[in-house]
Homo-oligomer: A and B are copies of this chain.
Amino acid sequence: MASRTIENYLKQLWLEQQDTRGKYVPMGKLAALVGVTAGTATTMVKAIADSGLAKYAPRAGVRLTRAGEQLALHVLRRHRLLELFLVEILGIDWSDAHAEAEELEHVISETVLARIDLLLGHPSVDPHGDPIPSSAGKLEAPKLCSLAELHTGNTTIIARIVDQSSEFLRFAQSSGLVPKAQVVIEHTNPQAGAISARPDGKEPVMLSMVAAAKFLVRPCAATRGKRRNK
């Protein structure tokens, strides 16, 4: 039904409009994400809006309708199941899986996807810890906090990495900062804007606050000063 081009627009739009209730995604942002010029994005978005998958507000931006979100979630499901499949079954490097899945997500049939899902045991997260939408288009989003929010001495487990670039993922892997790894916060230095985290059985790693924020963890250790339950 939707072309591969449109599927890409929808997916990027979905990812971008998360955690922004009612806010519109600006055209420049979308264009950059999809990798086209702003003019191209404007034209495509108008076509997408005409087919009822998004609402377009000139000079303000664009936002998916319910139908658009559902379609986007199906693309996202294909993408994330494929990523896990590439890593788990074929042994592809997790830093390359994203780029590979970016192509495959548009040509895989429902039948093949169902077999992959079965083979993987109906998984709930992809290799980066990103949740996999159900075949019905439901997505459970557990609220996680990040490494940047923890304090010296805290111990936690990495649940998710929110940067798909292969450079960052290669760095994360070589440091041992991968999903399911246990890490201890050795030092925090708010003034310098950096922390030191030590993955279990590995060397401590220095992380800027920006980098630390890309690692989502569980359980979210209680913050030092203010505890909810006294």
Tell me, yes or no, whether A111 is within 8 Å of chain B by CB: yes
By a CB distance below 8 angstroms, the chain B residues around A100 are: 109, 111-112
Q: How far is the CA of A105 from the CA of B91 in the complex (A)?
A: 20
CB neighbours (8 Å) of A91 from chain B are 115
List A97-146 residues whose CB lies under 8 Å from chain B.
100, 103-104, 106-109, 111-112, 115-116, 119
Contacting pair A112 B89 (CB below 8 A):
no
Residues in chain B near residue A1, CB distance under 8 A = none
| Chain A residues numbered 5-56 whose CB sits less than 8 Å from any CB in chain B | none
Q: Does A96 contact B (CB under 8 A)?
A: yes
Q: Which residues of B contact A90 (CB under 8 A)?
A: 112, 115-116, 119
Judge whether A86 is part of the interface by a CB distance below 8 angstroms.
Answer: yes
Question: Is A115 a contact partner of B103 (Cβ separation < 8 A)?
Answer: no
Minimal Cβ-Cβ distance residue in B for A102: B107
Determine the distance from Cα of A96 to Cα of B107 in the docked complex, in whole angstroms.
15
A107 to B89, CA, bound (A): 18
Nearest-neighbour CB distance to chain B for A5, whole angstroms, equals 14
The distance in angstroms between the C-alpha atoms of A91 and B116, with both chains bound, is 10
A162 at the interface (CB under 8 A from B): no
Contact check, A96 vs B115: say whether CB atoms are below 8 A apart: no
When distances are taken between beta carbons in the complex, the residues of chain B under 8 Å from A104 are 104, 107-108
> Closest 3 interchain pairs by CB?
A90-B115, A103-B107, A107-B107
